[in-house]
A and B are shown apart, each in its own frame.
Chain A
Amino acid sequence: MKILVAIKRVVDYNVRVQVKPDGSGVATDGVKMSINPFDEIAIEEALRIKEQGKADEVIVVTIGSNDSQQQLRTAMAMGADRAILVETTAAVQPLHAAQVLLKVIEHEQPGLVITGKQAIDDDNNQTPQMLATLWNRPQATFASKVEFVEDNKINVTREVDAGLETIQVELPAVVSTDLRLNEPRFVKLPDIMKAKRKPLDVQSIDELVPAPKGTAIEVLKHESPQPRQKGVMVETVDELIEILKDKGLAS
């Protein structure tokens, strides 16, 4: 079985982004870029499944600019066998991304697709669900545990608001990862060298999906969130309790 992992190059999660003064976007020039943290977890999970002998190959795919090759190389240094870059300079919205990934799936025929639950830039949390829908296959979102129960069935424990829900899905399926699924491995220097020789196939988005369906959502304006009013520091518990009582928050 092949596992396909979809990843995204995003602004590193430690960077505090700033909205550009003209409201046209956020400033990303010269900002550190990384693999979306949830996608790193997806790569790690695919590698662990392969190490258990349940998969033969891990293919990592991304849609983005040529710079995304860096993130694909990192994924291969972690252990992915090969990579596919679907190149585009435009921002791609989830429905379009799902159509592109479906084309890759039709070509690669993976038994399992793993991806992060959301990208930390647009915070959409849509692409895996949309991909599963277009593929007409089951989904297991927000996964914190993936267990093979039979050759073609997995039990996935999902982090839901009420606690932990377990569902069983037949493969092929799309799994989206939550933070607690695993701890991604660190990349070792020799593996970075090895990853440079692994195959990286570049395709054009327009050739893959010449006429994407659906309209993109138009972004009119970016703005900074309303700053909170400056707070006060108190010295004692008594002062704190007094403020709470004044506001009617304690009795």
Chain B
Amino acid sequence: MSKVLILAEHNGSTINQSTAKVLTAAKQLNADNIDVLVFGNDSGLATQVAVLNGVNQVHYVQCDDNHDQLAASIAPTIADMAKNYSHIFGPSTTFGKDVMPRVAALLEVNQLSDVMEIIDANTFKRPIYAGNAIITVKTDTTQIVATIRTASFPADKSSDGQASVAESSLSTAATHTKFVTLASGNSDRPDLQTASKVISGGRGVGSKENFEIVYNLADKMGAATGASRAAVDAGYVPNDMQVGQTGKIIAPDLYMCFGISGAIQHLTGIKDAGTIVAINKDGDAPIFEVADVGLVGDLFKIIPEMMEKL
């Protein structure tokens, strides 16, 4: 008899798609009840969640001074509420990864990180060693705390749900932690984590200026842009574009990469992409081992040609 509590993620005004992906995972448990917990200071967020089909109740907890984003502030409230649930799920995003282990520690359980497959209410699959091995894990604690790998579950697209909303206010705000500022990448392009097409560049792109041609092709194809760690470290692009074990794990329909050799850590981030297309000067680059379509050549010739022919 599973009762699931989902921690919703948002950016202050819009519910993040990761929430709908966690909902898909929760539904696979054949749960008796799925409730969603939203921390924020805009009750419209609760309304956005309430229309998702399959959600019974939305617990909306009003927070001031950005405490909704602070793990130390919200974890005690989640843990307190979690006592009525068998499964407490959060997204395996930086937000979920920050908060959920705190909840697990308060409930005295180990957390299941990055769940990629649900076998039954107690058995799950998750990747280890940068995705080079998959383990099947079992836990039968009264509360199971997990983060859900968003690349492994499609987003629930329903909008005919009629969940009730219960409002309260945060009583566990931490005094030792304070939000200062958020500097976001401010991209007009599709969100990297949810885009159906992603075009990435690596060290082979050569400079920040050269990345313009990668952006141009992405815009032409309606794709989000990503990058390898080498491109981020070289300062070509901001770090929130990084794809890989230490960056974002994505699963677009099309992943096209230019000038990326394909280190293990990068491949971890793209393994579940529908079609991987690799363009690289070096025909021996490891990226070609995983690519569905490979083209050996100079990206500075190939991208302009693609621009022209698409």
- Interface residue ranges, A against B (CB under 8 Å): 11, 13, 16-17, 19, 26, 93-95, 98, 120-127, 129-130, 132-134, 137-139, 141-142, 144, 155, 158-170, 173, 178-180, 213-225, 228-229, 231-238, 240-241, 243-244, 247, 249-251
Contact = CB atoms under 8 A, between A and B. Distances in A.
B10 to A, nearest CB: 11
B246 interface: yes
Given A133-B75, A161-B93, A249 B177 contact: no
B9 to A, nearest CB: 9
A123 to B, nearest CB: 5
Contact of B240 (A139, A162, A218, A240): A162
Contacts of A158: 94
Nearest to A162: B184
- Which 3 A-B residue pairings sit nearest by Cβ, starting from the closest? A163-B184, A129-B101, A133-B105
B98 A129 contact: yes
Nearest to A166: B180
A129 B70 CA distance: 12
Contact of B72 (A125, A139, A162): A139
Contacts of A169: 176-178
A220 to B, nearest CB: 4
Interface in B254-293: 254, 264-265, 271, 275-277, 288, 290-293
B101 A130 contact: yes
- Give the one of B101, B109, B179, B292 with max A CB within 10 A: B101
Contacts of B95: 160-161
Q: For chain B, give the interface size range.
A: 35 or more
A233 B295 contact: yes
Interface string B170-196: 000010111111111110000001000
B135 interface: yes
A219 B129 CA distance: 14
Contacts of B104: 95, 126, 130
Contacts of A141: 71, 94, 97-98
Given A95-B105, A159-B240, 12 more contacts: A26-B132, A126-B110, A126-B111, A139-B98, A139-B102, A155-B180, A165-B183, A167-B177, A168-B177, A228-B271, A231-B276, A241-B310
B180 A178 contact: no
B59 interface: no
Contacts of B11: 162
B108 interface: yes
Contact of B309 (A180, A222, A241, A249): A241
- Give the one of B98, B140, B248, B275 with max A CB within 10 A: B98
A161 B94 contact: yes
A135 to B, nearest CB: 10
Contact of B102 (A132, A173, A231): A132
Nearest to A173: B176
